[in-house]
Structure 1
């Protein structure tokens, strides 16, 4: 089973730290601790060590302590139980003028040339330069102070086993109070400047930030085979530009526990601190208000389904002052234009302003009481009275598509919204745009499978993606989506019925088939108000992949296997009391017929 590799941006510094600690443990601690016990002698011939991934070559001018180099479980370690062929020339220092190291993993090939100099027994220096990338390390070790100071620059460095490229960074790493007696203990501080990283899982563009700082105590314990048992990082400070947070990390016996807090911070400071590749157009917003957050994630890596998540956000006095036109969710109650692009055509649609839906319709579809529906209308009216200034207004050069027809909720069959709610977002009227239960289930499934197989998008999230964002499957797009959903549901005064109405009028049902009016006529040659339960369920069933499922229509009829799939929708509608038993019995008798079947 594949495992999903997710490395947040802050982990870049942690990976560098662990890399440094591991190499220093071998090269700086085990050698100097026996400085006065073992005479240094020169090698008579080259040493070559080679495995599937690593290849080490030490020229014959290299001067070592008495030792042997062994390989076990892909980990290099040093012992003095056996010897290599040595001359008897003693020296007062350990020098490695040049060591060539080659690492391969898949398409990644890293070649490094190292110069290691022990000028005295307490303060060795290491310089490593990669031959096929621009990567320089200057490192000092102070045995008396038990400290390490590494600094340098990295360019075009590819992390093994993850599609991550460290495009460019200046870094400064300080590790103090090092204790390697039985485990790795140290206090550490990492400062990354002018960081540029390419990580397609997070964003398609290069992620750039001026300053990323991490610091805190780390404790790593391992067994006799150097397999990690426990990693603890308490009170780790993470500072991204001006955004401060504190993180606790604990890994033990396959269980990962993460705790994090963000102290009360100006929301504008948070927006300004997040890299543009992650924030997108949100970066241009001007806002007021404060944000505070604490959360914990307990993740059994061998049983993701038992993962527990706690999140406690607190937002105070939030208000949007300025917003770019391309993400202006506040306009959704008004008339606006919207561009739909397909592989062959581009349509410029005119969307009319919102008109109140009758309470009788809401009683049939929303599953709320009349009192609850009225409460949300009053809340939306209050929020809608405050609108931000729109900046960077866009002007479309495409003429309005006269063939496009916008359909009001009350002008379509009630089975259309009932079926769509059943298939796409069963609790649409009961959440604020994000269904945390389905989100947790999707995260568990995707982590177990090692890839994105299950989505957790609500109707509001899908609408935001269709109207304001791209279709890219990245973490940054999901973060932008979540923020805009928050604005729609809780700040802009957009009612649920307006969100549902807009979604049904812009969602794709097939190649160049957008909106319920076009879908109803294309598949069944009917106005939306005449669509039956079976026809509404078919249209809902193809929404997860409308272009792929268009082949069902091209085949001329709904197959028995697809109708079996549709019967699940009918059953859920019955269980949710969206249809009666009599309506259910009739619906499962036979599949609906496509329009072209009737034409034959």
Structure 2
């Protein structure tokens, strides 16, 4: 290219650049001249939107630029039309994103607020200054045939929340309070700083008489939808959750809590969020959970959760850790066209000693400090279609991997192989100590007990006792289905093994911890052959309750019939089996004359029919069975309350009496 052409090109390029700079300068000049008007327009737009949506007034005393893009706002207040001021702050300094002013919005690059007060008040007459924010507008009836997608709602919420986070934040003396006739909450935050993506704050929260002093450290990256925060307790007692005692009757406390959202993805109407959470020194106390504090030294979760149209899921990439046990849950819930729930859980193979030491304390007290070789893993699979409960599936399996117990915990689980003392409880209090062994004259060895009572109890309580390993999964599945239909607990799935463990090793209180501990002990006994099936059944028959201070089959045989366990008939055995679930209600089966009530007849027919089909009784025995028993001794004295009319009538008609 000739030099002349080069010079011409350079000259024209410089002219274009100069023109661009002039245009930019003019644009900035115009923006500078009209920025106050744009700000006023944006503020008025916000006020109009707020006041159109809520029955309240938003006051902004003054809003003006301090420099090119820093705004100072004074005397801000949010006041309900009828009620006390809800929010007030004296001054706000903010660096505004100028491009948002053209959209009638105000988004801050930097935000500084001092002396802010959010005050919610509920008066004795029920009126308050905040419920208008929570109220819903009247809408058309919801079309239940349409899908609900909370993924869209949550995605929009996350995006708007992160979009509104300023690059720099400085709050000083932020105060939040709630006052009512019965409750008072006060939160004081001396400072909150967000700078270069780092979050720092300290706060004190007082709920009635409970005070938590906390510190929060975290990081945030709004562009990547990332936030991570760690909550520390500044008090030696840890952080205690308020109102758990009043609302649920329990307490929850911990030392530190960390929560993060690391990413989100919204595609094809499905939102997937990922993140982590961890907690240390968790302590839970509730009488329905356990008799004592339930403690977890440390726990964490890496979560992958998805939400879509009528669909909610915890993904298989989720990992949960409780001390040294790692578990991988999968949960899928569909709510349309019918509710359908899939739950799967598996754990890594955990070394045996680590497994026992990782169990929450206060739940598995009998195996605390237990040691072993090899490892343990757990699997759970369940599928519940709430419209088709008869096909419900539930498979649960704790598996040993070259597992062997080398040291028992607080309970020697093999002690029932030898004579031992069993303590009977009534209404949670010990009432009687019973020696289970030959030294007790009321002890009945297994081979001295009538086959009828053995078969009748197994038929009614646990038909597969001598075949299973402690659990009858089909009975448990039926129990789950029944309880779901009833929407409450009406049926259990306990085997004889579980009933034995409950009576010998555990308290009588019906807690979640006791049920979990019961299942673990049953597995340990049955899968490690610590006790033979025959010995387990022998102990069971010698300790279960059959009436007022009546424990064991020999005591029951004498109480009801005045005979030995070896002499029990088929009918007597079926009756004794019928009252095991509710032994204190034994009188309800009889009328005042000592005759079995008609409603008991179906039970005799049911149990004897099953025994016949299994070859436990003959056809002749089945045909000869009548739904009646002859009471004798103490039981007769307690049950028969009607006068002996037959004896009175015969006395009045006696020929000898007439002759006299």
TM-score, length-scaled by structure 1: 0.70
| Inter-partner Cα distance in structure 2 for 1:521 and 1:424 | 22
- Bigger Rg over Cα: 2
> Per the alignment, do residues 44 and 509 of structure 1 end up closer, same or farther by CA in structure 2, a change over 3 Å counting?
same
- Greater alpha carbon shift after TM alignment, 455-464 vs 176-185: 176-185
Take 2:137 and 2:325, find their aligned partners in 1: how far apart are those partners?
Answer: 41
Alignment correspondent of 1:486: 523
Instruction: Report how far residue 565 of structure 1 moved.
Output: 3.6
CA contact (8 A) 2:303 2:314 kept: no
The match for 1:155 among 215, 219, 240 is 240
Instruction: Determine the structure 2 residue equivalent to 1:539.
Output: 576
- With over 3 angstroms needed to count, the CA separation of the structure-2 counterparts of 1:190 and 1:525, relative to structure 1, is same
- Following TM superposition, by how much is the alpha carbon of 1:148 offset from its aligned partner in structure 2, in angstroms? 1.4
Aligned residue among 531, 545, 550 for 1:513? 550
Structure 2: distance between partners of 1:234 and 1:481? 29
Superposed displacement of residue 455, structure 1: 1.3
Task: Answer whether contact 2:281 2:296 (CA < 8 A) is retained.
Answer: yes
Query: What's the counterpart of residue 309 of structure 1?
Result: 394
Match of 1:576 among 600, 614, 619: 614
Equivalent residue for 1:334, pick from 418, 437, 446: 418
Q: Which residue of 1 aligns with 2:206?
A: 131
SS at match of 2:534: helix
- How far apart are the structure 2 equivalents of 1:587 and 1:175? 69
Q: In structure 2, what is the equivalent of residue 286 of structure 1?
A: 371
Aligned equivalent of 1:193, options 280, 292, 309: 280
Does residue 239 (structure 1) correspond to residue 324 (structure 2)? The answer is: no
Shift of the 71–113 alpha-carbon distance from structure 1 to 2, 3 Å rule, reads: farther
In the alignment, the residues of structure 2 paired with residue 284 and residue 320 of structure 1 have an alpha-carbon distance, to the nearest angstrom, of 11
Residue 52 of structure 2 aligns with which residue? none
The gaps in structure 2 that reach 5 residues or longer are 1-68, 95-104, 108-131, 139-149, 157-167, 234-238, 645-660
Q: Match for residue 174 of structure 2?
A: 97
Query: Pick from 581, 596, 600: which aligns with 1:562?
Result: 600
After TM superposition, the structure 1 stretch with the greater mean CA deviation from structure 2, 204-213 or 335-344, is 335-344
Report the counterpart of residue 355 of structure 2 in structure 1.
Answer: 270
Equivalents in 2 of 1:295, 1:260: separation in Å? 5
Structure 2 residue corresponding to 1:430, chosen from 454, 467, 483: 467
Rate the CA distance shift 1:49–1:430 in 2: closer, same or farther, 3 A: farther
Cα deviations by residue, 1:81-118 (Å, 9 ceiling, x for unpaired):
xxxxxxxxxxx9797933446899xx9x7846476968
Counterpart Cα distance in 2 of 1:443 and 1:103: 43
Q: What is residue 23 of structure 2 aligned with on the other side?
A: none
Please report how far the alpha carbon of residue 512 of structure 1 lies from its aligned counterpart in structure 2 after TM superposition.
0.9
Question: How far off its partner does 1:69 sit?
Answer: 5.4
CA distance in 1, matches of 2:550, 2:73: 78
Does structure 1 residue 58 correspond to structure 2 residue 96? no
Match of 2:260 in 1: 174
CA contact (8 A) 1:570 1:588 kept: no
In structure 1, how many angstroms separate the alpha carbons of the residues matched to 2:462 and 2:321?
37
CA contact (8 A) 1:351 1:406 kept: yes
Deviation at 1:424, TM superposition (A): 1.0
Contact 1:237 1:247 in 2 (8 A): yes
Report the equivalent of 2:48: none
Q: Tell me the distance in 2 between the aligned counterparts of 1:303 and 1:121.
A: 55
Tell me, yes or no, if the aligned pair for 2:311 and 2:332 is still in contact at 8 Å. Answer: no
CA distance in 2: counterparts of 1:410 and 1:339, whole angstroms: 24
CA distance in 2, matches of 1:455, 1:148: 45
| Structure 1 unaligned blocks of 5 or more | 1-36, 80-91, 223-227, 354-399
1:210 is matched with: 297
Alpha-carbon distance between aligned partners in 1 of 2:358 and 2:491, rounded to the nearest angstrom: 31
Partner of residue 559, structure 2: 522
Partner residue, 2:43: none
Aligned 1:331-410 pairs, distance under 5 A: 331-342=415-426, 346-352=431-437, 404-410=441-447
Once the two structures are TM-superposed, the CA of residue 458 in structure 1 deviates from its matched residue by: 1.0
Deviation digits for residues 546-584 of structure 1, max 9, x if unmatched?
123345469552322234444332333233332233322
Does the C-alpha gap of structure 1 residues 174 and 313 become closer, same or farther in structure 2, counting only changes over 3 Å? same
Deviation digits for residues 507-561 of structure 1, max 9, x if unmatched?
1111210001111111111221222111111111110011233454695523222
Q: Distance in 1 between matches of 2:329 and 2:174?
A: 41
Question: Across the two proteins, how many residue pairs are aligned to each other?
Answer: 492
SS at match of 1:452: coil
Match of 1:374 in 2: none
Other-structure match for 1:259:
344
CA contact (8 A) 2:79 2:86 kept: yes
Q: Which residue of 2 aligns with 1:391?
A: none
Q: Deviations over 1:319-364 (max 9, x none)?
A: 222224x6323233333333334468743333337xxxxxxxxxxx
| Change beyond 3 A, Cα 1:266–1:431 | same
Q: CA deviation at 1:141?
A: 3.6
Q: CA 1:102–1:191 in structure 2 vs 1: closer, same or farther (change >3 Å)?
A: farther
Higher relative contact order (CA 8 A, sep 6+): 1
**Contact preservation (8 Å) 2:590, 2:597:** no
Q: CA 1:262/1:229 → structure 2, altered by over 3 Å: closer, same or farther?
A: closer
Q: Name 2:78's counterpart in structure 1.
A: 46
Contact between 1:56 and 1:102, CA under 8 Å: does it hold in 2? Answer: no
Q: 1:214 to 1:597 in 2, by over 3 A?
A: closer
What is residue 397 of structure 1 aligned with on the other side?
none
Q: In angstroms, what is the RMSD of aligned CA positions?
A: 4.3
- The question of whether the paired residues in 2 share the 8 Å contact of 1:157 and 1:167 is answered with no
Contact 1:442 1:455 in 2 (8 A): yes
Q: Contact between 2:356 and 2:368, CA under 8 Å: does it hold in 1?
A: yes
Distance 1:240 1:473 in 2: 24
Secondary structure, aligned partner of 1:213: strand
Counterpart in 2 of 1:296? 381
Cα deviation for residue 316 of structure 1 reads 2.1
Q: Is contact 1:294-1:313 (8 Å) kept?
A: yes
Q: 1:307 Cα deviation (Å)?
A: 3.1
Alignment correspondent of 2:625: 587
SS of the aligned residue for 1:277 comes to coil
